[in-house]
Structure 1
C-alpha cells in the first residue's frame, strides 16, 4: 500500500512493527494513550468498535500483505484526531452516546441552503441564527462550502480541498466558529462528505495528472480504452449530454473514471490508501464541529467489472467501516445517506451501523405526483409499505432539495395500481414544465429531451405550486406539501426560501458556468423584501411564514410526531391521504388527513367508527365531530389529536 504523501496533513508514519491481531492493536493503542486524561474514553470506544472496524476493512483489504500496517496507521490517525478534538465536542460525544436517537425528537426540524445565496457568507449565516431559531430549526445543512473549481463545480460537489473553503465564504476558522455558535443555539451543523470523487483541481488529481504513480492509484486511470470499454458495457450514463459513458480523456491520452462530470474524478477505493486519506478528511471535518455528514453519491463508491457499479455490497462495507471509525474518534457524528435509487436499494443504506439517517426521495417524488394527479394512491401505498425503518434510524423528509426532482417510484408499485411507470413519468414531466393543459406549475426542465419526453424537474416550491403565475391556490398547495412532510416522521427539511415563497430565478442564465444547469433556477438568492415581509400576515410571504412557523411549533409540542412510527389510515376518498401517528407521553394518536384536491372532499362517518367521537384539529384549533363525518376544504390539512387513554 502506498503511504499517504507528505502534503496530506492527516498522514502518520506506519508503526515499525505493524500488527493485525486485535489484542495487540489494543495493547499498542493503550501504550499511545497511557497517561492522557482522555485516553480512557478513547480506549473504551476502541474496544467496543475495533472488532467491527477490522471485520469490515478485512472484507476489502484483508488479503493484502500490508493490511496490518494499514490498520495500525488508521488507528494512529484516529488517536491523533481524538487528541485534536475540542473539549466541547467530546462532551457532545458523551451526550449523543447517551441519546443516540436525539434526531427523533419532534422539535428537530431542519433547514438547508447555500450560504452565499442565503446570507452572503458564513458571517451572514451566523447573523441569521436568531432567524433560524425564530423559524424553529434545530438542524442546518449548508451546501458544500469547500474549495472548488470556478465556474464549473456542480454546485460545490467538485471538491478541491476539505481543508479550505471557497474564499468568498470565509475561512476554516470561520466555519469552526459558526459550528460552535450554531451548537450553542441548539442547532446541529450538517455538511457534505463528497467521498465518491474529487475535483480535477484537488492536489491528488493534479499529482496524478502530472504522472505521479502514487496519486494515479487514487483514481481509476487507464492508459487506453480497453478497460473503460469493458466497464461501460454494463454502466448507465448519468450525464450523457455532458460526456458519453463513464470515462473522460485526459490531455495526455489517458482515461479517468468520471461518473458525473468531466471535472469530478472517481476515487479508487480498491486502494486502501484512498480509504485512509479520506478517513483523515472525514475526521478533520468532524472536529470542526459538524454533527451530521451527508454521505454523497453512496451508491457509486465501489466499482466492479461486469456490474452496473451501483449499490454493490462493498459500498455498504465502506460505509460501515467509516461509521465504525467515527464511533471511535468522533462518536457524535451521524451519517445521512444520499441514494437517489430504487426504493428497495435506498433502505439498504439505513442502519445505525451504516447511515442512521437517509433522504426519503420516494416521499418527495410522490408528494409532487399526488399534487399533480389529485390521487393519493401511490403516496398512500408508499407510506403504508415503505415508510417503516429500523430502530435508531430516521428519514429526512423534504419537499424539494438543491437538486432536481426525479420520479423515483418503483414501477412494480405503480403497476399494482394500474399505472404504467414510463408513461406516468412523462405525464409528470409535462405537467411540471407547463406542457400539460391546465397545469399550475412553472418548472424548468433539467436534461430535457423533448423528442422522448425524458427530463427531470427544476423549480422552487412556489413556482411548482403556481405562485409564480399568480394562482390563488398556490399558498394552500405549498402549506399542504409542507404539512404532510412535517407529519410523516423523521426529520423534516425545508429548503430555505420556500418558507417565504421564493420563485424561480431566471438570472442563473447570465451567471458564469451556470447557464446550462437549470437547477440554479431553484437556488435563488434570498430576497430581502420578501424576508422583511415574513412577519406581515397581509402579504404572501407573511401568510406562508406564519403558517409554517405555527405548524413547526405545533409539531415540536406534539409527542406523537417524534420518531418514525406511522400507521396507514384509509379515508376511502381517492383524493384524501390518511395516516396515524401513534400517541406518546399519555396523549392519544394524531390522525393526519390531507385533501390533495382543490375541491372540497368528504370522509364518511363510518370511516371513523373505530375512533373516539371527537378530535381536536391541531392546525385549526377546531373540534371535529367525527361521528358526523368530516368535510375537508380544498387542499385542507388536518392534524386530528385524538383523546389519550385517560381522555
Structure 2
C-alpha cells in the first residue's frame, strides 16, 4: 500500500482522545459519492479520490454509511458480511488505502455498524433456514411458530417500520421477525454468539485504523419475547421506559458496556455515536461514558426555521449533554430525511399540541413530485446557509451530510420505476422514501453524471444539478461551498470551551449567543432586518448592509 503525500490542505491528525467532542463530521453515503469504475455506483476508491476535497472543506472526520456486501434491499443497511467490503464498492485493501489517505490529511474515520439485523443473505441466516427448528443457527435470530390450526398465521399482528407484516414464513413453516425489510431478519441479542461476533467486528475495524462507530438503531437491539406475545395494540399502548418488549430497553446497555470496554482498550479510545430515537430523558443513557459515549440529537431535523424552536432545542440538548458528560450533536440533514434546503423552502410543518410535526416534514411535497406546495428554493437555500452557520457556531459536534455544502435540494421527481427505497414500495402513496436525498453528487457541471462517474448514476440526477456542481462553486466567494470552507476554517480557530451564553436581543425572532473568547453568533430568523451589535464581522451567511443583519441570515462576530 502506498500513501500519497498529503495535499496543501492537510492537517495533522489530532492526538487528543476527546477529538470527537467538537468535531465536524461529514457523512459519506458511498454509493452516491463518487464512482471510479463506471458501473453507476459510488465506491471506496471514489471516496479516496475526493480526500483532498474533504481536507479543503475542513472536516475533522467522515462517517461512512454501510459499504459492506449487501443486496441493497435497504441502501446497504442489509449487511451480508460485517467484515468485508461489497465487491461492487471495492476491497479491504481499498478500505485500508482510504483510511490511510484520510489519516494523512488529518481526517478520522467513523463507520456504520448495523447490529439490529443482518441481510437474509448473511451466512448465519442461510444456515438458520437450512438447519430447521430448534437448531443453534436459528437461535441467532428470532424464529417463532405461527398461530392458527396449522401455524399458517403469523405469531403476532406486528408491522415492520417499512410497512407491512413484521413476520415472514420460511419453507418449514416457522416465522422470523423483521423490524425493517423482509430481507433484514432481526438478530437475537440474548444469544452469546451474537454478542461475541459483534465484539469481533468492532475489533476487526478498530485494528484496521477505524476511529469510531455510528450505531444504527441503537435502541432496538435487545428484546423480551416471553410468551404470550402482546398484540400490536397492546404493544403500542406500552410505555417506552426501559421495559418495553422491543424498544429502548435498559438491558441494551449491558451490550454497550461490553463494547465500551473494547473501545477503551485502544489508544486513543474508539468513539461511538448512537442513532437512538428515544424520549429525551433516555438519551443520556446512550451518551454516557459507560455506554456508547455520544448520541445523535435529531430535534433540528423536525424543526421549522423558527427562533423559538431553535433556541429551545439548543438549550434542551445542551442540558442533556451535561447530564451524560458527553457533548451533543447537531444535524440538519442526513440520508433518511428531506434535505434542509428544501424543508426550509416549504411551508412550516403542521404541528400537534406537543409541538411535534403531525406530517413527515416534506413528504407531502414529495408525494406531489415536487409540485405542491410550492417550493421557494432561493428562500430555502438562504435559510439553510443561515442555519448552517448557527449550528457550526454551537458547542458540540456537527454532522454534515454530503452535498449540503453545495446547497443541494431534495430531488423529488424520481420516476417510480427508478426508485430503490423499500419504504416507497412497502408504503405506496403514503411515503415516498429516501431516494431524493441519496441522488449521486454533482462534481462537475458537464460530463457523464455531472462528474460522478463515466457510467451514469444509479439514481437519476436532475438537470438543475448543473448550477450546483462543485466545480462551479469552487472559487466563487459567494457560493455555499465557499461559505462552508470559510466557516470550518474559522471554527477550528474559534472553538474553545463547550459552553455558550445567551445574549439579549430586542426581538423574539433574533437569537444570539456568545462563546468563550468573544465569539458571538447572531441569527435573524425573521424577515425584517435587525441591528447588529458593535464588533468585527468574521463571517456572514449572506451579504450585509452596513451594521444591519438582513432577514433569514446569520453572522459570526467578535464583540467590541
- Confirm or deny a common fold (TM above 0.5): yes
Distance 1:201 1:269, change over 3 A: same
Per the alignment, residue 524 of structure 2 pairs with 595
Which digits, 9 at most, give the CA deviation of each residue in 1:385-432, with x for residues without a partner? 33231476222322100012699xxxxxxxxxxx74468623x64x73
**Match for residue 170 of structure 2?**
250
Partner residue of 1:142 out of 64, 77, 100: 64
**2:357: which partner in 1?**
425
Give the corresponding residue for 1:551.
Answer: 487
Distance between the aligned counterparts of 1:319 and 1:478, measured in 2? 35
1:490 aligns with 2:396: yes
Aligned equivalent of 1:44: none
Is residue 264 from structure 1 mapped to residue 184 from structure 2 by the alignment?
Answer: yes
Q: TM-score, normalised by structure 1?
A: 0.66
The answer to whether the 8 Å contact 1:465/1:477 transfers is: no
Q: Which residue of 2 aligns with 1:401?
A: 334
- Match status 1:316 vs 2:316: no
Return the alpha-carbon distance in structure 2 between the equivalents of residues 225 and 567 of structure 1: 59
The CA deviation at 1:138 is: 1.7
Shift of 1:103: 1.9
List aligned pairs for 1:61-460, cutoff 5 A: 99-105=16-22, 108-120=23-35, 121-150=43-72, 152=73, 154-211=74-131, 213-225=135-147, 237-239=159-161, 241=163, 243-244=164-165, 246-305=166-225, 307-328=244-265, 332-366=269-303, 369=304, 371=305, 375-388=306-319, 389-390=321-322, 393-404=326-337, 420-421=352-353, 425-426=357-358, 429=360, 432-433=362-363, 443-444=365-366
3-state DSSP class of the match of 1:591? Answer: strand
SS of aligned partner of 1:504 = coil
In the TM superposition, residue 202 of structure 1 has moved relative to its aligned partner by 0.3
Can you give the 5+ residue segments of structure 1 that lack an aligned partner in the other structure? 1-94, 408-418, 436-442, 449-457, 604-612
Q: Distance in 2 between matches of 1:238 and 1:140?
A: 30
Instruction: Report how far residue 347 of structure 1 moved.
Output: 2.9
**Structure with greater helix percent:** 1
Alpha-carbon distance change, 578 to 314 in structure 1, aligned in 2, over 3 angstroms: same
Superposed displacement of residue 343, structure 1:
1.9
Aligned residue for 1:164, secondary structure, equals: coil
Q: CA 1:559–1:485 in 2, change beyond 3 Å: closer, same or farther?
A: closer
Relative to 1, partners in 2 of residues 1:464 and 1:129: Cα closer, same or farther, differing over 3 Å? farther
From the superposition, tell whether residues 326 and 228 of structure 1 become closer, same or farther in structure 2 (CA, over 3 Å): farther
CA contact (8 A) 1:162 1:285 kept: no
2:505 maps to which residue? 571
CA distance in 2, matches of 1:179, 1:161: 19
C-alpha distance in 2 between matches for 1:641 and 1:364: 29
Distance in 2, Cα, partners of 1:476 & 1:329: 43
The CA RMSD measured in Å over matched residues stands at 3.5
Task: Mark the CA change 1:262 to 1:572 in structure 2 (over 3 Å): closer, same or farther.
Answer: farther
User: Deviation at 1:518?
Assistant: 2.6
CA distance in 2 between partners of 1:124 and 1:302 (Å): 36
For the residue of structure 2 that corresponds to 1:639, the secondary structure is strand
Tell me the TM-score normalized by structure 2.
0.76
Q: Deviations over 1:508-545 (max 9, x none)?
A: 6443744635301111111121121122428xxx6111
1:131 CA drift (Å): 0.6
Shift in Å at residue 123 of structure 1?
1.3
How many residues were matched structurally?
473
Against the structure 1 CA distance between its residues 401 and 600, is the aligned structure 2 distance closer, same or farther, given a 3 Å change threshold?
same
Tell me if the contact between 1:365 and 1:406 (Cα under 8 Å) persists in the aligned partners.
no
Per-residue deviation, 1:173:
1.5
Structure 2 vs 1, CA of residues 564 and 254 (structure 1 numbering), >3 Å: closer, same or farther? Answer: farther
3-state SS, counterpart of residue 300 of structure 1 = coil
Aligned with residue 553 of structure 2, among 618, 623, 636: 636
Kindly name which structure, 1 or 2, has the bigger radius of gyration based on alpha carbons.
1
| 2:418 match | 511
CA separation of 1:423 and 1:296: change in aligned 2, threshold 3 A: closer
TM-superposed CA distance for 1:597, in Å, is: 2.2
User: What runs of 5+ residues in structure 2 fail to find an aligned partner?
Assistant: 1-12, 36-42, 231-243, 341-350, 426-431, 446-468
